[in-house]
Structure 1
Amino acid sequence: MDRDHGPRVRVPEQRAPEEPGAADSLRFTVLGPVRAWRGAESLPSGSPQQRALLAALLLREGRTATAGELIDAFWGEDPPSQALATIRTYASRLRKVLGQDTLVSEAGGYALRIGRGALDLTLAQDLAAAAEKARAGGNRLQARTLINKVLGLWDGEALASVPGPYAENQRTRLEEWRLQLTEARLDLDLEVGSHAEAVSELTALTAAHPLRERLRELLMVALYRSGRQAEALAVYADTRRLLSEELGVDPRPELAQLQQRILRADEELARPADEPAPAAAPLKPAQLPATVPDFTGRDSFVRDLGAQLASAEGSVMAVSALAGIGGVGKTTLAVHVAHQARPHFPDGQLYVDLQGAGARAAEPETVLGSFLRALGTAESAIPGTLDERAALYRSTLDGRRILVLLDNAHDAAQIRPLLPGTPGCAALVTSRVRMVDLAGAHLVDLDVMSPDEALQLFTRIVGAERVGAEREAALDVVAACGFLPLAIRIAASRLAARRTWTVSVLAAKLADERRRLDELQAGDLAVKATFELGYGQLEPAQARAFRLLGLADGPDISLAAAAALLNLEPHTAEDLLEALVDTSLLESAAPGRYRYHDLVRLYARACAERDEQPPVERELALSRLLDFYLATAAGVYALERPADRLVDHLEPTDHPGLTFGNRQAALDWLYTEAGPLLACVRRSSEPSTLRRGVDLLWAALDLGESGANAKQYETAAIALLEAARTSGDRRSEVRALVTLADVHHTSGRFDQAEQEAESVMILVEADQDPLPACWASNARGIMALYQSRHDDGERYFNQAIDNFRSIQDRPGEASALCNLSRIHLATGRTDSAVALAEEGTAVYDSMGHALRSANGRYALGMALTQSGRFAEASERLLEALDVFRASRQRLWEGMTLFRLAEVDLTAGNATDAAVKAEQALTALRGIGGEWRRGNVLTVLGRSLAQIGQFGRAEVCWREALGIYDALGSQEAAEVRSLLSSAASTSPS
């Protein structure tokens, strides 16, 4: 066998294995070519026969091999007349290389005296034994890691090119062991939830070993857990047919039982045993925030809620919902009760802040994704839709005892998908609204503290000695706080941090704050009055920072963005932000990143509206933030796409933006800032900021094209398009249409993308804003290509080439050339297709345009495939794949894998084609649209049919046909033909 389908770490050609030991120690390998090293020096192993002697002695692991045994090993039953002399000659040569003390003569034979760690085979045996022990002890992740290390010791075929019957027998034995290890590791892959990733490898292995039923069994399980039940059943049908034809037997009982379990949709089979998690995720989530050490009062609530949660140990799911105004202590109480209830939930606790009081509450599907990962679900196994995620979430929790704390919920609709729904689990919900429409929930209305509880909390924070000396003043303080826990905590913390103050000083300060006591009576006013305690103590610069930072949307804000918004140097801004953190008015989300509690943000904005004079200062602050994001995103775009003319056609900015030393750092910034950046775009719908907001969205198109943040990107594009139409800003409308069409293209909604691009061409004034006109012609050509309107596509691409040349946009010209190549390819002009793609790619390469060069290589790889130049096509596509992965372009990573599958299929490498098609399906999960998925399924089916897996092939084609029929795509005719042909030629 000359191909390894498992993971490996290859041993370099002239380098010893990196094992511990002295620098001059001997090292040997047999799991590949037979080689020897002393330290880092490679030793000559001589002729094939001499390596055969070395291998025979190494495989005896220190035991003596007699001359007769060695002769049998070399020549079997027909040794030459000088066999013994030949053995002695080889032994003498080896002894000179290895040393007298290493190769010894004894008892009429020879033996090697080396340490156990000196041979890769014994190291592999020890690692395999450790893996077996770890698995027996329930540590599947460690066992999986150890088996991967064992498999990584192989360097191709064991005992490669070593002659003789003994070596041949050992090769067979070692290859069988290698397969057993691979099966064990794949079994562990399935146990830890990596079923989707395992499908491609199992597809290749079943093609290489078609009669190995264990591999077929693992493939059926992997497909079933990946939601591909029909394919899993087709594997059984293929196996049954093959075994009948080849061996005249039926599948073994285990395989037949597995088929029945799949037919029954066995829920136990649908998930890994005990729900183990991948290496990066905890098996037992413990996500509760820390409880406050000075928790005070609320005794009746603690008892009541504790009893409700404990009832989940019986036969029902317990749901308790705490409601109350902001700052009343809902989260503090919920966290405290949850910690006390932990013994009732031994399988873990989940927590999420749903941001229900903010402008944009957390989306349930996003929360479910986070919960599923924490519960051990592999990323690739997480479905794309809310309903599918909720169903998988409930299935994952079935049989477990998990407590879910849903903090700061917006409404009942937001949390319904997040409820466990199974006995033994419980949900604890906090919200500012009473959830009367949450069926079956135990509702709790949390009011302010009693005077005694409020004073007790204040005392615990400040200290009994200071409060005891001024009890009346302390009562005045908590009364001024309206007995609201958050207000009391802020006031007490300020006093505790200032040892020179007395309680009376604090009480006097609170009494002087513009009728605060009158404002602490009801609703949100109570929250504002509470935060006024901290805000009123800020220095002017701190207060300005507090007000203006509250204007920014998004989950958090970076120091650099905050400095731009405040128009300050970063170090000055950092001092102000850290001071706000000290007052608890701002949180430090991570080093260099800050966030407001949602209620504090609302209060900060109210302060800005009230205190920021003149009002234009608020607009200027947001304008500076928009400038920062636009300038920095433009820099990222320019670094990713050198010489691209888009940056020359963006709105000018006053802020220079950040600069980056390399593409990786630039992309890290872009994806880290995705949330705040897109939030800033959504806020830029006013006429004064609209054009820069649209340009920022265009410059950040990687966020939409990569598949990451695509939904938020689309939402922002729609919002700006509506704003542009409302304000009558045609330039902004055209550019918003550009970004929206790009979103539709990425998502596979080609008709909508065509409509948007057509609208651009109708609306654009090319002499005033030439780039959208160029882009629209190119985009319409792409849509025409996808819809097989080749004459239209060629006309659009030629128009795009002329347009790009007219504004000296060489990257745009190269893009249109590569796209025109695909029209030539689709119409049979293969030679010119290759030439056009080579021309476009050369333009990209001349400008150091890595990402766009990858697009060029993608087109060139397709043309070379159709030209029959398969090796060149694979080389170009693999180059593109590396760039797309480095640039986090998941859509194009998946499409390049698909094109590589086409190369392999056309070249007759059906197994490799099936592997790459499976990898493409995994990469395109949730992005790219159904049409692209149909294309991949079609190629996967053709690959599977060529390796004899006819049942699976038919399932893939039927799914592809359903997609094409739903879309009205002409590819449906090809798939019908494949299905018809399969039906007429399929073995009975």
Structure 2
Amino acid sequence: MAVGEGTTGGHTPALRFAVLGPVRAWLGERPLASGSPQQRALLAALLLRRGRTATAQELVTALWGEEPPLQAVAALRTYASRLRRSLAPRSEVLVTDLGGYALRLGPFDELDLDTVTKLTAEAEKSAATGELTRAHDLYGKALALWDGEALGGMPGHESEMERDRLAEQRLVLREARLDVGIQAGLHAEAVSELTALTTAEPLRERLRELLMLALYRSGRQAEALAVYADARKLLIDELGVEPRPELSDLQQRILNADTTLNQPTQQLSSAAPVVRPAQLPAAVPDFTGRKAFVAELGAQLASADGRVMAVSAVAGIGGVGKTTLAVQVAHAAREHFPDGQLYVDLQGAGAAPSDPAAVLGAFLRALGQQDTGIPETLDERAALYRSLLDGRRVLTLLDNARDAAQVRHLLPGTPGCATLITSRVRMVDLAGAHLVDLDVMSPEEALTLFTRIVGPERVNAERNAAMDVVAACGFLPLAIRIAASRLATRRTWTVATLARKLSDERRRLDELQAGDQAVKATFELGYGQLEREQARAFRLLGLADGPDISLAAASALLGRDPADAEHLLETLVDTSLLESAAPGRYRFHDLVRLFARACAERDEQPPAERAAALARLLDFYLATTARVYAVQRPGDRLPDHLAPTESPGLSFANGSAALDWLFAEADCLLACVRQLALGDTLRACTDLLLAARDLDESGTFSRQFEQAALTVLDAACRSTDPLIEGRVRLALTHAYNLAWRLDEAEEQARHAHLLGLEANDPVSSCMAPNERGGIAFHRERYADAVEYLEYALAAFRRDGNRAGEASALTNLSRAHSSLGEHELAVRLAREAIDRYVELGSSLRLANGHYALGVLLTAAGEHAAAFDELSAALAGFEENRQRVWVGMTFIRMAEATLGTDAPDGSAALAERAVAQFRDVGNEWMQARALTMLGRALDAVGQPGRARACWQQALTAFEKLGSGEAAEVRNLLGSVGV
């Protein structure tokens, strides 16, 4: 029963009481008047006695201490009377007993402290049985009941003692939650909280121990050892004692790189698995033949018990039935693998085979591991994968592998587990693998399969024609299945009709050849059955380079309204020539895409029609991305200066919906830019990049954005169009600037500015000097920065670009601040914020708050700076700007460090470190580590500070960054 839902047995709601924060009471959901501090103190004293009677003298002492007022007993009676009235209609719970008082709650009444006790007991039980994730959640629920300091504002000696006891209880619960979280793989998430806790409780050795383990499991060994060094120095200096044995032992194990530190605890490994995966695809009901292979592979898998691992690799040409055979064998062997079965299609036949690290991430999740507990690197994921499988009997089916290198990290390597692999190549370099070469079906097996699908009556009546069909299919199972399925759904066809169609070699192409040609011929068969509009859709869809395509984008590509396009796509799904990846999204199997494109590029689809289809797709992406840009940046004139579009694009109800579309289409959109960066579509590709800048700023798609921009630049340089070249160089400037590659950014910005002037382009001639001003500022050329930014400000004003004007004002404010002109800087920053507020731009308003927060920090106005930065953080998080979220954490840590209570600075910097590790920006991560080191040094943890600075220095030196000198100075200030 949820808190507050119960009744006392009739219609009277239950009472709820809280002492873990301000003392409060509710009747059902209605708050009750709590009265004066003494009346609340009386309520708290009675609640803490859990129904036991308290004498009048006990309560007087609890409320007033050893020196109560003269009329204390009379006052006590008054408070009790008022409390009884406030509890009506449940006033009977307050009883007078032997001159004292007691609060006797009913079975449905609740006290938050009792709820904590229950949740803690459940959490401890779950932890003891190995359900660490559940224990972590239960501890979290218990801690969530605290609403600030327990017994907040309550007077009296007893309240003070209880406050201390409950604070200790809260800290113990936090330790327990962090402990089970780390053991459950949530070590990266725990580092920030532990950093803050060890700062607040520097002598608490258990917290140091947990922080060391969390850092070590996060790959931060130097910092983990520095935590021990800092703790030891503090304990000796403050208490004159050495660390406790547990802490010293952990330090030695880290020094020895003890592999067991990276493994789940015995408690976890001995527990029953939380998840038993059963991922095998369904076996086909008409599986035919292959008896010898089934027996051979089944015996091999059954032998896994007691062996290090059983690995069987099935090789053969495309369409020969490798997957069908493997799935059949795997299902037959399930009884030997009671702990589950894993499956993945490794996409090895296509241009983009699956990344082993991504596959391991999916496997770890399937085995019950939470996302926050999944390591970053391939080797760490493989190690955790093997650890989780240790002692379990799991079968893994790795389908469609590219080569042995792709699967090596995916092998369990533990007794009792087995792996079955399918691939087009023989894996002779996979040590210990049992290799099986799968050939085409025998004529008898092929005919049996064909008969099972079509039906014996039709086949027996035309047996020779049926044999011609399976022969024309090259006895390939996939080809036979497609042919038989087509015939089965066309009752007016005879088997001879199908045989005559297959006899046309122009339709079958190289069907009887080995390798992919046989598969291509099979696809040709399915394609030949399509109606004219279906075939056109099939061909045109194959032209687009993206990993998949949305219904709206497909509608634009095909030049059909969404309803007609959806009908066409769904009919292609029915023919198995297209897959429905998700509602409203479609994709080709890699080989089918190649076949579809080959069909489009031969005589069936003239070049002009192919070009027109892709141009329509690009036009749709540009129109819709321009709408996203306009929603995100109201008042910005860029959409007005983009290439005109015929498509109106999609419209969005709000900024969140617009970003949802942009991020969902990112891969497809950028693939389209790379594919069409030529000729008549070059201008649209360039403008699409500029309109899609949020993909770069998000941090998630920065690398893909840069690659697309470089592709466009190469074509733009050949085009000799200054407008196009200036704009793509502007896009690259933005990308390099965010990556802190200032040399490259400055060079691109200079070219973009000159080209913009040459082309009289309001986009490049306004935005490039704004970028140049920001770069000059970061290079500490403040006078140059002011000159560029004043130029940009005037240019934006001439163009009527109010959002651009606000951006220039923001940058100009920081430049003036660095020149010592603080009042002017703040005025400009506030003017920019006012512009953004007027425009209703939440994203750029966040930039304004950020800039003002940085200015106020530099001026020593740390509290005001923190408020501005907090507002910026909310805006960046709302708009999914992960790079800026990380930068804001750094600035918030800096502002906090300058206050009288700098303890929270390290936790904020730690969040920045985690943010940039996820984004993959090495320079930004080094900046965050530099800030983390400063925060740690300020709170008396110089060893860990040095470790952070050393990591930052290594990164800065690798990147050739000028920040390396600053970090060397920091290291020198504490001694290396």
TM-score by length of 1: 0.91
* Structure 1 alignment gaps of length 5 or more: 1-15
Q: Which moved more, 1:93-102 or 1:893-902?
A: 93-102
Residues 752/368 of structure 1: CA separation in 2 closer, same or farther (3 Å cut): farther
Deviation at 1:418, TM superposition (A): 4.8
Q: Given that residues 199 and 939 in structure 2 are in contact (C-alpha distance below 8 angstroms), is that contact kept between their aligned partners in structure 1?
A: yes
Partner residue, 1:947: 939
Q: How many residues align?
A: 966
Deviation at 1:269, TM superposition (A): 1.0
In the TM superposition, what are the counterparts of 1:524-923 in structure 2 within 5 Å?
524-923=516-915
Partner residue, 1:39: 28
In the TM superposition, what are the counterparts of 1:408-557 in structure 2 within 5 Å?
408-416=400-408, 418=410, 426-436=418-428, 438=430, 441-464=433-456, 466-468=458-460, 470-498=462-490, 503-504=495-496, 506-511=498-503, 514=506, 516=508, 519-557=511-549
Partner residue, 2:96: 105
In the TM superposition, what are the counterparts of 1:186-197 in structure 2 within 5 Å?
186-197=178-189
Residues 17/872 of structure 1: CA separation in 2 closer, same or farther (3 Å cut): farther
**Alignment match of 1:64 (pick from 53, 57, 73):** 53
Deviation at 1:942, TM superposition (A): 2.0
Q: Given that residues 183 and 265 in structure 2 are in contact (C-alpha distance below 8 angstroms), is that contact kept between their aligned partners in structure 1?
A: yes
Q: Which amino acid aligns with 2:935?
A: S
Residues 686/426 of structure 1: CA separation in 2 closer, same or farther (3 Å cut): farther
Residues 433/723 of structure 1: CA separation in 2 closer, same or farther (3 Å cut): farther
**Alignment match of 1:959 (pick from 951, 961, 964):** 951
Residues 772/490 of structure 1: CA separation in 2 closer, same or farther (3 Å cut): same
Can you list the C-alpha shifts for 1:378-432, whole angstroms capped at 9, x where unaligned? 5456666667766776677677665544433344555555555666655444333
Residues 273/780 of structure 1: CA separation in 2 closer, same or farther (3 Å cut): farther
Q: Given that residues 700 and 919 in structure 2 are in contact (C-alpha distance below 8 angstroms), is that contact kept between their aligned partners in structure 1?
A: no
Q: Given that residues 814 and 825 in structure 2 are in contact (C-alpha distance below 8 angstroms), is that contact kept between their aligned partners in structure 1?
A: yes
**Alignment match of 1:164 (pick from 156, 161, 177):** 156
Deviation at 1:123, TM superposition (A): 2.0
Deviation at 1:180, TM superposition (A): 1.3
Residues 497/696 of structure 1: CA separation in 2 closer, same or farther (3 Å cut): same
CA–CA separation in structure 1 for the residues paired with 2:267 and 2:479: 43
Partner residue, 1:198: 190
CA–CA separation in structure 1 for the residues paired with 2:739 and 2:328: 45
Deviation at 1:879, TM superposition (A): 1.3
CA–CA separation in structure 2 for the residues paired with 1:715 and 1:426: 40
Partner residue, 1:147: 139
Deviation at 1:245, TM superposition (A): 2.5
Q: Which amino acid aligns with 1:558?
A: S
Residues 275/591 of structure 1: CA separation in 2 closer, same or farther (3 Å cut): farther
Deviation at 1:190, TM superposition (A): 0.8
Partner residue, 2:211: 219
Residues 499/126 of structure 1: CA separation in 2 closer, same or farther (3 Å cut): farther
Residues 979/425 of structure 1: CA separation in 2 closer, same or farther (3 Å cut): same
CA–CA separation in structure 2 for the residues paired with 1:780 and 1:396: 52
Does 2:110 align with 1:118? yes
Percent identity, aligned pairs only, is 64
Deviation at 1:42, TM superposition (A): 2.5
Partner residue, 1:6: none
Q: Given that residues 186 and 218 in structure 1 are in contact (C-alpha distance below 8 angstroms), is that contact kept between their aligned partners in structure 2?
A: yes
Deviation at 1:736, TM superposition (A): 2.6
In the TM superposition, what are the counterparts of 1:8-27 in structure 2 within 5 Å?
18-21=4-7, 24-27=13-16
Deviation at 1:565, TM superposition (A): 0.8
Q: Which amino acid aligns with 2:481?
A: R
Partner residue, 1:4: none
Does 2:77 align with 1:88? yes
Q: Given that residues 159 and 171 in structure 1 are in contact (C-alpha distance below 8 angstroms), is that contact kept between their aligned partners in structure 2?
A: yes
Q: Given that residues 348 and 402 in structure 1 are in contact (C-alpha distance below 8 angstroms), is that contact kept between their aligned partners in structure 2?
A: yes
Q: Given that residues 4 and 28 in structure 2 are in contact (C-alpha distance below 8 angstroms), is that contact kept between their aligned partners in structure 1?
A: no
CA–CA separation in structure 2 for the residues paired with 1:815 and 1:349: 55
Alignment RMSD: 3.0
Q: Which amino acid aligns with 2:773?
A: G
Partner residue, 1:130: 122
CA–CA separation in structure 2 for the residues paired with 1:342 and 1:795: 73
In the TM superposition, what are the counterparts of 1:274-423 in structure 2 within 5 Å?
283=275, 285-310=277-302, 313-314=305-306, 316-342=308-334, 348-374=340-366, 379=371, 403-416=395-408, 418=410
Deviation at 1:601, TM superposition (A): 1.4
Q: Given that residues 412 and 418 in structure 2 are in contact (C-alpha distance below 8 angstroms), is that contact kept between their aligned partners in structure 1?
A: yes
Q: Which moved more, 1:193-202 or 1:835-844?
A: 835-844
TM-score by length of 2: 0.92
Deviation at 1:375, TM superposition (A): 5.1
Deviation at 1:863, TM superposition (A): 0.6
Residues 551/274 of structure 1: CA separation in 2 closer, same or farther (3 Å cut): farther
The alignment partner of 1:36 has SS state of: strand
The alignment partner of 2:260 has SS state of: coil
The alignment partner of 1:520 has SS state of: coil
* Structure 2 alignment gaps of length 5 or more: none
Deviation at 1:557, TM superposition (A): 1.0
Does 2:25 align with 1:29? no
CA–CA separation in structure 2 for the residues paired with 1:301 and 1:558: 41
Deviation at 1:978, TM superposition (A): 3.1
The alignment partner of 1:27 has SS state of: strand
In the TM superposition, what are the counterparts of 1:171-182 in structure 2 within 5 Å?
171-182=163-174
CA–CA separation in structure 1 for the residues paired with 2:139 and 2:356: 38
The alignment partner of 1:269 has SS state of: helix
Deviation at 1:939, TM superposition (A): 2.0
Deviation at 1:656, TM superposition (A): 1.4
Deviation at 1:760, TM superposition (A): 2.5
CA–CA separation in structure 1 for the residues paired with 2:859 and 2:894: 13
Q: Given that residues 612 and 618 in structure 1 are in contact (C-alpha distance below 8 angstroms), is that contact kept between their aligned partners in structure 2?
A: no
Q: Which amino acid aligns with 1:103?
A: L
The alignment partner of 1:444 has SS state of: strand
Q: Given that residues 199 and 918 in structure 1 are in contact (C-alpha distance below 8 angstroms), is that contact kept between their aligned partners in structure 2?
A: yes
Q: Given that residues 130 and 268 in structure 2 are in contact (C-alpha distance below 8 angstroms), is that contact kept between their aligned partners in structure 1?
A: no
Deviation at 1:499, TM superposition (A): 5.2
Residues 306/730 of structure 1: CA separation in 2 closer, same or farther (3 Å cut): farther
CA–CA separation in structure 1 for the residues paired with 2:746 and 2:339: 51
CA–CA separation in structure 2 for the residues paired with 1:286 and 1:743: 43
Does 2:260 align with 1:268? yes
CA–CA separation in structure 1 for the residues paired with 2:560 and 2:439: 42
Q: Given that residues 190 and 222 in structure 1 are in contact (C-alpha distance below 8 angstroms), is that contact kept between their aligned partners in structure 2?
A: yes
Q: Given that residues 766 and 773 in structure 1 are in contact (C-alpha distance below 8 angstroms), is that contact kept between their aligned partners in structure 2?
A: no
Q: Given that residues 510 and 517 in structure 2 are in contact (C-alpha distance below 8 angstroms), is that contact kept between their aligned partners in structure 1?
A: no
Can you list the C-alpha shifts for 1:749-783, whole angstroms capped at 9, x where unaligned? 22222232233235444443231233222223222
CA–CA separation in structure 2 for the residues paired with 1:688 and 1:613: 19
Q: Which amino acid aligns with 1:874?
A: F
